[in-house]
Amino acid sequence: MMRLVTLLLSVLLALPARVNANTALPTGLFVANALNAHPLPRVERVPSVDGWEHWFKLERGLLTLRPDGRFIASFRYYRQHVKPRGAVRPGPLLNETYKGRFSVQGTRLTLNPDPTKKYKKVKPIIGTISGTRMSLPYIVAEGQSKHPLRLDLKREGNW
């Protein structure tokens, strides 16, 4: 009997005093379903400083949050530099991928992209995450012009 009590006590002491499910990082594949509250694919025109516009069409956006606190974001899109309201002849479909670290505090999600050859210092992107939904605001700044974007994503797969 004494051995059983000793065994139970040692097991209980080995367990954490309190288990907090909120400390686990959210993980999985999040798929973009809207850009500025409009479903994908979505076209946006961003004014540039030279009087022209940056036209782009976002076809797809994916964000994978890994259990080790790393993320991979990839986007498929078309892009053109056009006259305002000018005709658009999209070029080739472009792909961009970003990697980095992420952290979560409550519903606040912070993405810290790794530096690239083009950008040595990259600003973090701060969004919100709640359950299976995520929202990432982003400001496209071209000279004096600023254009707000918001990408909404939904979790569609586990890690």
In a domain, 2, yes or no: no
Q: Which residues of 122-154 are buried (b: 16+ CB within 10 A; e: fewer)?
A: eeebebebeeeebebeeeeeeeeeebebebbbe
At 9 the pLDDT is 38
Domain count, the chain: 1
5: tokens are 């009590």
Whether residue 1 has pLDDT greater than 80: no
At 142 the pLDDT is 60
In a domain, 11, yes or no: no
In a domain, 140, yes or no: yes
At 47 the pLDDT is 82
CATH number of the CATH domain containing 110: 2.40.128
3-state secondary structure (DSSP) of residue 29: strand
Whether residue 144 has pLDDT greater than 90: no
In a domain, 96, yes or no: yes
The chain-wide mean pLDDT, for the chain, equals: 83
Q: Which domain holds residue 64?
A: 20-157
For residue range 77-134, list pLDDT tens digits in order.
999 988 888 888 888 999 999 999 999 999 999 999 999 888 888 889 999 999 999 9
Q: pTM score, two decimals? A: 0.78
In a domain, 97, yes or no: yes
In a domain, 54, yes or no: yes
